[in-house]
Amino acid sequence: MKFKHIRFVVLLGAFAIIGIIGIQLYFMKKEWSNKEKQFAQTVTICLRNVAIKIYKFNNTAPSVPNPVRQLSSNYFVVDVNSKIDANILEHYLKAEFECYNVQTDFEYGIYNCETNVMEYGNYVFYNGKVKQDAISSNLGMYIGYNYYFGVNFPLLNNTIAGDMTIWFFLVGILAVSVIFFAYSIFVILKQKQLSELQRDFINNMTHEFKTPIASINIAADVISNPESIREPSRILTYGSVIKQEVNRLNDQVDKVLQIARIEKSGFHLRMESLDLNAIISQAVENCVANNGSKVEIKSHLAAEVGFVVGDRMHLTNIFYNLLDNAVKYSGDSPEIQITTFDIERRIIVSVSDNGPGIARAHQKRVFQKFYRIPTANVHDVKGFGLGLFYVKSICDAHHWKINLDPSPAKGTTFILEIPQKPMSK
């Protein structure tokens, strides 16, 4: 799938999800508002009935046409135009709320005009049980009435939320849908990345194999020429070319197969005590021998580093891959430095080169399998992008850390950290 198609899918999906979320939030808010209005209307009717009963009990007349005032979404005051008996008030409130199916806790207080405070109150559970002395400090006063009581519903939001369970269920479904969409996009992008890596790997493998195949083909043509029989030295030379290129092809195939085996069955490490500096020196000698005198490798190996526990073959391969990678990307005159030192119960090994360095955009991906820094259509650097992936895999298997130092302005520095105290034989 092309990137523009992926972008279209992402934008279309994001627009659809934002639209669905917006619509759902709008209707949820509207439904919540309707629930609050419905509750307020029901409570207003209940409290008006309570006021009428108190008027009849006290044999008084209402002073205002509508005795009920809503001061907030969950707080109401009721004018009764006479003193109120708390026990009678509580009885009337329970009866009316039960009659109109108001299933939520409430608390009430009675205004004392002599002391100008809300006096006496109970916290009443919707099942009728009373919790003494639980009056809320939020029961405010209303200057428009002389004799009145206030009723507060502290759990109103919880009650409305309980009535909107289906809406929260729909929100949960939407959240799962959003997570699924995000995961799908992640999978698509991951598959696209893997597809690009596979394509680059095939291109690199094609370029890697074309050169030795071409050399073998030329050498075979020369050897097949009857005239070449008269020049044994020439046949010997081209025979060695064929042998060299066949070994080169074999090495490349072995690298790919080795990674495949590692991913399938993991590592089988043969742990032993190893002289780290000796392993590094051997890798340096092999690298110089394979690349000739053009390579300059300076070793600064601290004597106190001593021995480490690891797999000899894989540890040797780590340093050879790092050195070989440094040679490939350092141009015509590679200058490489490898340093070891011991600090805070850790062994540090750094491998630096004088190459052009690695841009920050690529630094986090250099350890990915098959990943190579883009060089347009230029294929002057050989390889499949497996060397650093192999190094990282070996370090992870040993519980070591390998990082790319992003600080140098020029050149590349890899830092290997072995979090263990050097051991002696």
Strands 296-301 and 335-343: parallel
- The rounded distance, in Å, linking the Cα atoms of 304 and 322 is 23
Task: For the sheet with 413-418, list strands across it.
Answer: 296-301, 335-343, 346-352, 413-418, 401-405
- The rounded distance, in Å, linking the Cα atoms of 410 and 331 is 13
In terms of average pLDDT, the best of 173-177, 218-222, 259-263 is 173-177
386 burial type by CB count under 10 A (0-12 exposed, 13-18 middle, 19+ buried): buried
Strands 307-311 and 122-124: unpaired
pLDDT tens for each residue of 92-151: 999 999 999 998 899 998 988 777 888 777 888 876 666 655 555 568 888 888 889 999
Residue with tokens 């190893």: 274
The pTM of this model reads: 0.49
- The rounded distance, in Å, linking the Cα atoms of 121 and 23 is 43
Which tokens sit at 21? 């979320």
- The rounded distance, in Å, linking the Cα atoms of 259 and 385 is 11
pLDDT tens for each residue of 220-255: 887 777 776 677 777 788 788 788 778 767 766 776
Instruction: Say how many CA atoms lie within 13 Å of 51 toward its Cβ.
Output: 26
Sign of dihedral through CA atoms 136, 137, 143, 148?
positive
315 burial type by CB count under 10 A (0-12 exposed, 13-18 middle, 19+ buried): buried
> What pLDDT does 425 receive?
43
The DSSP call for residue 377 is: B
pLDDT tens for each residue of 54-78: 999 988 888 788 899 999 989 999 9
Three-state DSSP at 340 gives strand
Which tokens sit at 210? 């074309």
Q: How far is CA 128 from the centre of its chain?
A: 50
pLDDT tens for each residue of 306-344: 788 888 888 888 888 888 888 877 777 788 889 988 887
Task: Considering the chain, tell me which residue range(s) the CATH 1.10.287.130 domain(s) occupy.
Answer: 194-265
Residues 232/237/242/244 CA torsion (nearest 10 deg): 140
Strands (E), 137-263: 148-152
pLDDT tens for each residue of 271-297: 888 888 898 888 888 888 777 667 788
The DSSP call for residue 101 is: T
Assess contact for 418 and 400: CB atoms under 8 A. yes
- The rounded distance, in Å, linking the Cα atoms of 54 and 52 is 5
3.40.50.720, 3.40.190.10, 1.10.3720.10, 1.10.287.130: CATH of 194-265: 1.10.287.130
> What pLDDT does 373 receive?
67
> What pLDDT does 378 receive?
44
> What pLDDT does 100 receive?
92
C-alpha separations of 246 from 10, 215, 222, 378 in Å: 48, 10, 17, 24
Query: Counting runs of H as helices and runs of E as strands, what totals does the chain give?
Result: 9, 14
- The rounded distance, in Å, linking the Cα atoms of 137 and 160 is 23
Task: Considering the chain, tell me which residue range(s) the CATH 3.30.565.10 domain(s) occupy.
Answer: 271-418
E strand or H helix that includes residue 416: strand 413-418
pLDDT tens for each residue of 183-228: 888 888 777 777 776 776 676 666 667 767 877 888 788 777 777 6
Residues 393/397/398/401 CA torsion (nearest 10 deg): 50
> What pLDDT does 96 receive?
93
Closest by alpha carbon to 68, among 87, 51, 84, 81? Answer: 51
Closest by alpha carbon to 67, among 58, 79, 59? Answer: 79
C-alpha separations of 370 from 195, 201, 205, 324, 366 in Å: 11, 6, 10, 16, 9
H helix runs in 133-164, sequence order: 156-163
- The rounded distance, in Å, linking the Cα atoms of 108 and 278 is 86
Say if domain 271-418 classifies as CATH 3.30.565.10.
Answer: yes
Residues present in the chain in total: 425
